[in-house]
Structure 1
């Protein structure tokens, strides 16, 4: 037996000792009800818990316009802007996530009824619980603990915990149906729900099912996203240039500098390619015309194509959940819960560009001069350009240059048909357990043991994916002749014509495209046992204690297609992933009353907790926590915590195969170069003079690293809760400070490439240069960024939660105010690169969204008899724009956003009706430099949204 297992069994035996004692139901009459609150395993008066907690009631969730738990959570200012939700989701494959205090969702632990549940794979390195996988009509409340909780729950709770607590008191049936539509096209919504419950003397059973449909929104259905621009035409008095892609569907011969677009003035089959022009943007000349490059086709507008491109993807969710418990003899209760979720949807993409940075094809499309489809006049220009290139070389190099039978092209397969991405996901989890009360050495104790198992599966099909190997064969007469399936004419010549726009035959489309398939699965098994009770009596009261042991195993993998693994796909290359780990853990917690009922110390208490974890991947970790609560008077309570935490690297971070992504990075070697030292480094790297980056995106190869260590953290919080006797007011305010060390991630490609070409004296001596490789044309064809423990993250701020209720002649008015002030959010890499993101906003091309200094949510509700009316004001502070693309920030500030929502409800007997409008003033997102979306994911993409819902209950 291994030492890890032997130690675990010994500890388990010790903790199980109370279970062997005689069990007696413990009756406690005439005392304050004690409950288990999020962040502790000790039963106590919920009002005395030391920790910054926000509670979201189930009614708020069920009345959300989109029937979305995530939408409601992201309106809490303490929930950061890095998650995805209905208002701005494109990524996440329809899954929704949330993170606390601007830390990624991987650093926030999501629980279901106080217990772990299975994760969903959200991208190449991310794992988190999909908040859309639970039926919202089953949620009684959500407790958000914005404080480190690794000592109680283990890994992933660095930022805090989101605990979804299901209903347990339903007696009867409830049906609901709802829908909504934006003022602008697309984005329609429909939902339906069924809730059933039965209660009895010895237990209950509750089950709920929901169906939610969210329609897609295309880029061309919003004026602000229809054109890929670097700025708004009249923004700040500047005439700005439209952007788009330099890889057009007409095809572009790089060496000759031509695009295969007929010139109406000269009658030639091509035009000279210009990177930009001075035509200005839409409306800049008062005509409303589109910038000349996009109008003429030089720069391709990938946001506006006939088949549509998804700004918000279509998504369907069918969720089921059931919970139940039954009291057995001897004071033992058996309980069970089960969750099943099916999610499916579609995204429409722009056709893939072939730019020499996909798969193993690093030299763009190699087109032989002998291809019979090349227009004769263009061929002459291309051959002349080759002759000029060779003549400029050293005499010794000229023969090889002249002997090269090919020229290089980039091209976009718009004529091959649409490219769509379909996903189909199933998530299931279940828990069975036993709990009970007992006396042990004449003291009241409780025990709980449970077993949880879960699985998440995702199947993805990308239709219309380009096979670059087949494309290369189809333009090469020799290769095509040797391949019996290659489309040819009667003379044996290839028929595929990529030199200008032309319809493609079904045979050509079938040969050059394929349906790419990828399967992802993730499994979790969790076994836990806890005991809790009173240890000793102190003058201020008994010392509460809880302890537990846990074993958890997680495993998962990603299976990619053979075409992708071979590097023949025009999409992102990706290796398969497979891995597993297990962990044994033990923890203990003490609630120590220090003073009670004394002057200026109605209560003074100390909580202490510790956890030891032993992973078979990263070794062991020990975390601990101290929390102090002081109530000088009954109406005022101060609280402070200090906690250490950790996050173990997940399977994808450890074992993930190399996968390619395309990120917006400006090559420092693109002309013109103003810094002589950068120019010298570029020349040393073999970049030819006058080189222009062919596309705004570079291929980044990322992957797992089995040598990763755990992220560790220290967190502090200090705050108070005030509930005065003289007014129906409750105010809580908490200052927080979190420092994460050895944060796992990929180095920022912008920082890496800049550090390389800032090497002193044109030496390319920086270590970052080893990550970058270039092709013969000077373009970046290799950029390796494996996972690392790369940085320290520090964030701090203040959370405010206030509620005031008062009666008037009209009805009862309740005012709820939630506020977050972000003091700082700073990341410092181990190489010393400091990224202060406080008060910054970036586009979706970055790995982060926004870090506003102020976020606020103010809601006023009027309730009278059987109706309510409410207005919500959501405020998002102005932010400085971070130019992640590197073309120069054209708008230095994104304006503050002011969203107003209206809602009302009316109850008649068993019926309840609700209607409202979100974003009443139809606020459009401010401009943020971005490759396509032109804004950041923190803003509302849908615009003004009308909704209504009806429900009926039966006893």
Structure 2
């Protein structure tokens, strides 16, 4: 390991402090919005009615600009994903492009984007708002995601982030089943704010640069704020971390059974009538049968060293915000932003599989190709016959080979480059008027959002030209540009002329558009003995559209990489909501305050029909310092455009086939499984004996999907007290959520298991004549229910100023008490999977029973320091249970405790407008726990840090 001098000169051995995640607040704490004076009523996420933010009826975490800056992280999503109630989500540690294909959720891989997932319910069940309004969903030219890309929101445009950790469909509509993230933007600023930050890992990689500047102008009736930013993150390569250098943790060679290394070797693997072979002395421009030798595990290709463990990401753009007081009671607000993201994902050289057992699926032409006897590089002396026509039907000839696999090292690594532009604008007219001595507030809003993505992919080849180059040499010679292709001569035998004919640069594109119009009215109706009877009502009309357009060569089924079909769709929705707050008691013995609240929303989707949701809640304060609250809510989530209209694509699931004749598989241990596998098309002689690897799952949307529905119960208690300049608060919240008709694909492992052990779901598995899996149907369905229960506990303490300075302590913990997924298993009934305390593996997600963040900070004069601990409890990954529950083994992913710290100094110069900061993350250099079933890089990037210590320094200026 080495230390970069450029960083060593700038960074001290200190570390990151996570934000103080205050959920309840006293005046001056981070949970009170800056715009609120003590006792002032404002709109806080979780209610449409103006109220004192200290009497919040729902658990809300607030992160302000200072809290975000304390993390040393350049991406907002990385900060949010550290919340104990968050369960990760997509981020720049995920390098899925080209490795796994498009996941079964219909949203594509989302390369380079970042999302937030609350309560382990998925990012598409967490609603992201900006200033209480919708924001356009992200896209990365690989599908149609159903969630907002947080990387598309300019960081220095954010004043604070309010995270409502409870379902709120009646207040905000679809997608708010797990909670709401409301990004509040800067609306007023005086003068300049600027900062520059640089950081990198101790190994000298993963360098990040982050530059931000904004300026606020104040006029008598108008305020204007403009800003710009630039952020760049460089990669960390998998080969530069011990955990990710081979397909499995702790592995040091491919020359062992079950290594996970690829049979698409650099010198090729030829599974023919002559056995499993490769070339002896590559490169060979004249391969002959006598030069072939037996293929061994040592010939397999270690693809793991050619991936990213942290993907490069560059973002820049600008924004503005204005507020004009048109008169004493009416304001006009305008907000606009532009965000550009340049990102990159990388995979190993293209693994070209050709032949009837190639397993490309989705009707790929590569699965039908024959290699003609006249091809000058065919060493077998006969045509390698697939027995198939181009459309996959039998051609009446006997197949004499299974597949030819060759790693196309000559074409370079697969490189996916995304360029994503996000445009957003909003206009708000708001004001107030008096009715019967009460102020009523109104606002009307119009907004638009456009997200446009283009992806360029190099390293792919096209099937139609490969077919000509491997076919009769006379036909190739008669085709302009065609050069016969040498697949049998090993690495270096494919010449530039051969590549020029078969290779192509893939161009994919996608976009999402949002138009939204809302109107709201709130105020007090009348005064009751315990306070005003308050209400809020509103209407919303929203239009969303999206499309995904893969390269024409890919959509024609002619690409060697992940197949994809075009997808497009749109919908509009009309909604109306109402909310009421009824005060019941005030300042009575053992009833300092008591109130009841209710909200209802009716939504009418052009695609999914109508749905009404409601919530009822109550707040009770027996004394001033204690608050007890509870709520019961119903919710729903309309299917996203990707879930409805997503085209056919492929997801390569790392899984073992129970019908493969391998040690420990049901084929060898269960006569019933063997009989069922034979009935499904597996050869009875046991010749199908492939090591575990990636099997093709064909994913696609479903226009017949119904909305998901949910029921949730939230109970909480808060103690907050101030004494002699000290402040202390303790909050506990219990959450219970049940989701019905959950949209998902039947677990492909379950599909294979059902067919092998029970002869059920075999129609979802397509096998070749030699038993290889060609397709597993992964069409989305309303087939699951989810039951989750959790408890959050937050405590904070703040001391008064003294000669020793001022200290603050915060502790934020979340216990996952229950997480069960029940899938409809057809004629076998329902199958319930207990996720609590487990690692799911691909797609990666850990479900730890306990997570905790704690921060201690100190300040004195111009000095400040903080230390943060982050704890993630251990989880267990099971070896594909419930697949092979008779031979299942478990791997424990041990607990992790990260230590971060930060020091800042405001020197007594320049009117103390300058602040210098140094810090570091993961000071104890904890590696993530090793994971065998995780997608790539042998750890779960949604839960754990990139291996290594990260140090950074920042200079900030306010004027």
| TM-score of Structure 1 vs Structure 2, range by shorter chain | 0.7 to 0.9
Paired position in structure 2 for 1:343: 341
Paired position in structure 2 for 1:63: 70
Paired position in structure 2 for 1:114: 132
Secondary structure of the residue aligned to 2:622 is strand
C-alpha distance in 1, partners of 2:485/2:584?
A: 86
Deviation of residue 418 (structure 1)?
2.3
Paired position in structure 2 for 1:714: 711
Q: Which of residues 508, 521, 528 is equivalent to 2:511? A: 521
Cα-to-partner distance string for 1:654-699 (whole Å, 9 max, x where unaligned): 1121122222122111113221111111111221222023761122
Q: CA, structure 1 residues 873+210, in 2 after alignment: closer, same or farther (shift >3 Å)?
A: same
Q: CA, structure 1 residues 915+31, in 2 after alignment: closer, same or farther (shift >3 Å)?
A: closer
Paired position in structure 1 for 2:271: 254
User: Contact 2:92/2:313 (CA < 8 Å) preserved in 1?
Assistant: no
Q: CA, structure 1 residues 353+30, in 2 after alignment: closer, same or farther (shift >3 Å)?
A: closer
Paired position in structure 1 for 2:113: 95
Secondary structure of the residue aligned to 1:786 is strand
Deviation of residue 323 (structure 1)?
1.6
Q: CA, structure 1 residues 263+466, in 2 after alignment: closer, same or farther (shift >3 Å)?
A: closer
Paired position in structure 2 for 1:303: 304
Please list, as runs of the form range in 1=range in 2, the aligned pairs for 1:422-501 lying within 5 A after superposition. 422-478=417-473, 480-481=475-476, 483-485=478-480, 487-488=482-483, 494-501=484-491
User: Contact 1:187/1:216 (CA < 8 Å) preserved in 2?
Assistant: yes
User: Contact 1:626/1:643 (CA < 8 Å) preserved in 2?
Assistant: yes
Secondary structure of the residue aligned to 1:152 is helix
Report the more deviating stretch, 224-233 or 614-623. Answer: 224-233
C-alpha distance in 2, partners of 1:795/1:125?
A: 27
Deviation of residue 426 (structure 1)?
0.6
Paired position in structure 2 for 1:3: none
C-alpha distance in 2, partners of 1:338/1:463?
A: 35
TM-score by length of 2: 0.86
Deviation of residue 567 (structure 1)?
0.7
Paired position in structure 2 for 1:506: 496
Deviation of residue 891 (structure 1)?
5.5
Paired position in structure 1 for 2:953: 948
User: Contact 2:317/2:339 (CA < 8 Å) preserved in 1?
Assistant: yes
Q: Which of residues 210, 213, 218 is equivalent to 2:237? A: 218
Report the more deviating stretch, 737-746 or 54-63. Answer: 54-63
User: Contact 1:842/1:884 (CA < 8 Å) preserved in 2?
Assistant: no
C-alpha distance in 2, partners of 1:223/1:183?
A: 14
Q: CA, structure 1 residues 613+747, in 2 after alignment: closer, same or farther (shift >3 Å)?
A: same
Q: Which of residues 558, 564, 569 is equivalent to 2:559? A: 569
Deviation of residue 89 (structure 1)?
8.9
Q: Which of residues 924, 930, 939 is equivalent to 2:944? A: 939
Cα-to-partner distance string for 1:80-101 (whole Å, 9 max, x where unaligned): 1234255989863211100111
C-alpha distance in 2, partners of 1:444/1:584?
A: 28
Report the more deviating stretch, 117-126 or 907-916. Answer: 117-126
Report the more deviating stretch, 417-426 or 584-593. Answer: 417-426
Paired position in structure 1 for 2:3: none
User: Contact 2:137/2:145 (CA < 8 Å) preserved in 1?
Assistant: no
Please list, as runs of the form range in 1=range in 2, the aligned pairs for 1:583-732 lying within 5 A after superposition. 583-672=573-662, 673=667, 674-688=669-683, 689-693=686-690, 696-726=693-723, 727-732=726-731
Paired position in structure 1 for 2:926: 923
C-alpha distance in 2, partners of 1:473/1:231?
A: 43
User: Contact 1:134/1:320 (CA < 8 Å) preserved in 2?
Assistant: no
Secondary structure of the residue aligned to 1:787 is strand
Query: Which structure 2 segments of 5+ residues have no match?
Result: 1-35, 98-108, 283-287, 388-394
Deviation of residue 499 (structure 1)?
3.6
* 2:206 is the counterpart of 1:206: no
Report the more deviating stretch, 470-479 or 790-799. Answer: 470-479
User: Contact 1:113/1:164 (CA < 8 Å) preserved in 2?
Assistant: yes
C-alpha distance in 2, partners of 1:687/1:431?
A: 59
Q: Which of residues 205, 211, 220 is equivalent to 1:186? A: 205
Cα-to-partner distance string for 1:358-397 (whole Å, 9 max, x where unaligned): 252363753234433134xxx38x99x99xx9xxxxxxxx
C-alpha distance in 1, partners of 2:471/2:212?
A: 57
C-alpha distance in 1, partners of 2:670/2:555?
A: 40
C-alpha distance in 1, partners of 2:505/2:576?
A: 48
Deviation of residue 864 (structure 1)?
0.7
Q: CA, structure 1 residues 711+458, in 2 after alignment: closer, same or farther (shift >3 Å)?
A: same
Cα-to-partner distance string for 1:486-537 (whole Å, 9 max, x where unaligned): 544xxxxx25343422243222112111111111011111111111111232
Deviation of residue 796 (structure 1)?
0.8
Paired position in structure 2 for 1:830: 824
Cα-to-partner distance string for 1:375-434 (whole Å, 9 max, x where unaligned): 4xxx38x99x99xx9xxxxxxxxx977x65766322221222222111000111111011
C-alpha distance in 2, partners of 1:411/1:366?
A: 15
Deviation of residue 311 (structure 1)?
2.3
Q: CA, structure 1 residues 31+175, in 2 after alignment: closer, same or farther (shift >3 Å)?
A: closer
Aligned-CA RMSD value: 2.7
Report the more deviating stretch, 145-154 or 348-357. Answer: 348-357
Paired position in structure 2 for 1:325: 323
Paired position in structure 2 for 1:7: none
User: Contact 2:617/2:632 (CA < 8 Å) preserved in 1?
Assistant: yes
Report the more deviating stretch, 833-842 or 911-920. Answer: 833-842
Paired position in structure 2 for 1:270: 292
Q: CA, structure 1 residues 30+948, in 2 after alignment: closer, same or farther (shift >3 Å)?
A: closer
Q: How many residues align?
A: 867
TM-score by length of 1: 0.87
Paired position in structure 1 for 2:861: 865
User: Contact 2:844/2:940 (CA < 8 Å) preserved in 1?
Assistant: no
User: Contact 1:842/1:929 (CA < 8 Å) preserved in 2?
Assistant: no
Q: CA, structure 1 residues 666+68, in 2 after alignment: closer, same or farther (shift >3 Å)?
A: same
Deviation of residue 228 (structure 1)?
1.2
C-alpha distance in 2, partners of 1:771/1:778?
A: 14
Secondary structure of the residue aligned to 2:490 is coil
Secondary structure of the residue aligned to 1:120 is coil
Q: CA, structure 1 residues 85+854, in 2 after alignment: closer, same or farther (shift >3 Å)?
A: farther
C-alpha distance in 2, partners of 1:78/1:752?
A: 32
Please list, as runs of the form range in 1=range in 2, the aligned pairs for 1:19-34 lying within 5 A after superposition. 32-34=39-41
Please list, as runs of the form range in 1=range in 2, the aligned pairs for 1:142-181 lying within 5 A after superposition. 142-181=161-200
Paired position in structure 2 for 1:740: 739
C-alpha distance in 1, partners of 2:919/2:94?
A: 16
Q: CA, structure 1 residues 816+543, in 2 after alignment: closer, same or farther (shift >3 Å)?
A: same
Deviation of residue 775 (structure 1)?
1.5
User: Contact 1:231/1:891 (CA < 8 Å) preserved in 2?
Assistant: no
Cα-to-partner distance string for 1:154-176 (whole Å, 9 max, x where unaligned): 11111111111122331111221
Cα-to-partner distance string for 1:848-872 (whole Å, 9 max, x where unaligned): 4111111111111111101111111
Query: Which structure 1 segments of 5+ residues have no match?
Result: 1-28, 275-292, 390-398, 489-493
User: Contact 2:656/2:691 (CA < 8 Å) preserved in 1?
Assistant: no
Larger RCO (CA under 8 A, 6+ residues apart): 2
Q: Which of residues 755, 777, 780 is equivalent to 2:773? A: 780
Q: Which of residues 408, 426, 432 is equivalent to 1:413? A: 408
Q: Which of residues 236, 241, 260 is equivalent to 1:243? A: 260
Deviation of residue 594 (structure 1)?
0.8
Paired position in structure 2 for 1:290: none
Deviation of residue 783 (structure 1)?
2.0
Secondary structure of the residue aligned to 2:87 is coil
Cα-to-partner distance string for 1:96-118 (whole Å, 9 max, x where unaligned): 10011111111111111111111
